[in-house]
Amino acid sequence: MVPRVNAPLPLHSGLLSAAGFHHAFFTRSGGVSPAPFDSLNFSVSVGDDPANVHQNLRIAARHLGVEPDKILFLDQIHSAIVLRATSADDQQALRITQGDAVVSSDALVACAVRVADCAPVLLADRRSGTVAAIHSGWKSTAQNIVGAAAQTLRSLAGPTVDIIAAVGPHIEACCFEVGPDVAHSLAHASSDHDVVLPGRRGRPHVDLRRVIHAQLLQAGVRPEDIDHVRGCSVCDHDRFFSYRRDGARSGRMLAAIVAR
């Protein structure tokens, strides 16, 4: 029996849309995967049927306006490694290449990351059309992967870049309870040191969104050119997968942007 496919319900940045960039922060809705990966899951490694994941990629590609094999993402390892990509790159080879950000100026390519609590960040240069997709979990944020990706984008697009950014849904401060070591690392990851909040159980909570916002400012992005697409992946079970909430059986969402 052919699985029923509902329309995907992605979230979008008004800032990126106004600048003419095809992009999406896909939610968990609109795919073909059964529970517990229902339904728009983008990872085979969590235990989903590869055929389902392939069909979900086709659904995403249709929304983004690219071919399914041009949705390019890496083997994410919570690093600050940034990779340049083009439509000549082999999709399967990239998926076993380690890194946490993809940059491209090729309009046939969708730069993408997969997330289930980590923050997806999309960058775009208004002038050249060059884009980047960033997987900014706490380890990558502590290493300032946003700054590394912005620097790579500048080196590819040229010195007169006009960068805009959108930070997508992820684990928000309400649910991001951490140990003192993680809190210390993130408190010193940007110029904003007021990102650690007291938790109800005596353990600190961290506002990851606020850390990333400060890092974007440090990377030269103007405050008015940073868009926040809100949502807590842990709180909102209906819309988002969450590793913290559901453990190893959680699906993975996709955030992607196409060069213009």
Q: pLDDT tens for residues 184-203?
A: 999 999 999 899 999 888 89
Residue 8 confidence (pLDDT)? 82
CATH for the stretch 14-258: 3.60.140.10
pLDDT value at 102 more than 60:
yes
DSSP β-ladder status, 205-206 and 196-197? antiparallel
The tokens for 192 are 């904003």
The pTM of the full predicted model, rounded to 2 decimals, is 0.96
Contact 196/257 with Cβ under 8 angstroms? no
Query: Strands, E, within the chain: which ranges?
Result: 23-25, 71-72, 82-84, 101-104, 110-115, 119-125, 131-136, 163-167, 196-197, 205-206, 226-228, 253-258
Q: Where do the structural domains in the chain lie, given as residue ranges?
A: 14-258
* Type of residue at 43: S
CA distances from 217 to 71, 150, 151, 183 (A): 28, 11, 13, 21
pLDDT digits (tens, 9 = 90+) for 201-235: 889 999 999 999 999 999 999 999 999 999 999 99
How far apart CA 184 and CA 195 sit, in angstroms, is 10
Task: Identify the CA nearest to 233 among candidates 174, 163, 166, 191.
Answer: 174
Instruction: Report the greatest alpha carbon distance in the chain.
Output: 54
Contact 8/30 with Cβ under 8 angstroms? yes
pLDDT value at 19 more than 60:
yes
- Sign, CA dihedral 110-115-117-118, equals negative
Alpha-helical segments (H) within the chain: 14-18, 50-64, 91-94, 138-142, 145-157, 180-187, 208-218, 243-246
Which uninterrupted H or E stretch holds 143? none
Residue 248 confidence (pLDDT)? 87
